[in-house]
Structure 1
C-alpha cells in the first residue's frame, strides 16, 4: 500500500480466479510493471487410506535410509538429477510419501516398470493428498526423496528411464 491507496486490483484478481475456475489450470501468474500477482487453486485428490493399523514403523523407518544413499551418491558424483531427461519433479510444495498409508507397500520401488499415468507417490499439501503420476512409461531407476520428508516445487522426486 502506498499512502493509504491500495495498489492491488481486486477486480483483476477476481478475473484471474474466474479463469482458473473455467479452465483446468491450477495457477496463473502475471506481472505488470513492478506488480506481480499469482492466483492458485488447490486441486483436491482423494487418496485411499487403509483402515487397519498394523505396526509397520520399523519397516517405514528403514526405507528412507536405503533411499538416502543413492541421493548422497548422486550428489557426490556431481550428477544433477534435475538435468536428467527422465526426472519427475515435484509439482508442488508439501510432504512426500512413497506409500498411501504407513502399513502399505510403497507405490513404486527402484526397478518398478510404470505406465504413463501410474501413481508414483503422494504429496500432502494443506491437508490434501495429491497423486503424483508417471509422466511417461518406463522403469523407475532412482527414488530421490525420503518418505515423509518435505519437498519443494521442482525438486526431483524420481528418475524414470
Structure 2
C-alpha cells in the first residue's frame, strides 16, 4: 500500500514540477515578447499580460506544492533546531497540522472563487474565464494537501529518491 502511494505521489510530484517549470518558461518568454511588441513595434498585444499572470499563479501555487514535498520550502528553524529531539518532532507535527489547515482553507475559498467567477470573461484573454484563470490556486493547494497527508502518514519524503514509472 505504501509503495503504491509513493508511486502515485511521485507521479504527481513530477507532473507538478513539469507544469510549474513550463509555466515559468512561458512566463519568461511572454514578458520580453510583450515588451518588444509594445516598445519596439509600438503595437502592444492585449494577451501577454493575462497569460503571464496565469503562468505566475501556476508557478507560485503548483511550485509551492513541489517545494513542500522536496523540503525546500522556506522554513525558519532557528528555534526548533535548539529543541530536544522529542520536542523537535512534536513541533514538526504541529507545523504539518497547521499546513493541513492552511491547505484546506485555501482549497475551499479558492474553489469558491473559481466557481463564482467561472462565467466572467477576461476581455484581453478570451480563451479563459476569470474562474478558469484562478484554477491553479485550488489545484496547487490540493496537491500541497496531498503532500502534507503523505508527510503525516509516511514522514518526510525529501531524502527518498523519486521513483520514475517502471523503476522500483
TM-score range, shorter chain: under 0.3
Higher strand share: 1
Higher helix share: 2
How does the TM-score come out when normalised to structure 1?
0.27
Query: Larger relative contact order (C-alpha < 8 A, sep ≥ 6)?
Result: 2
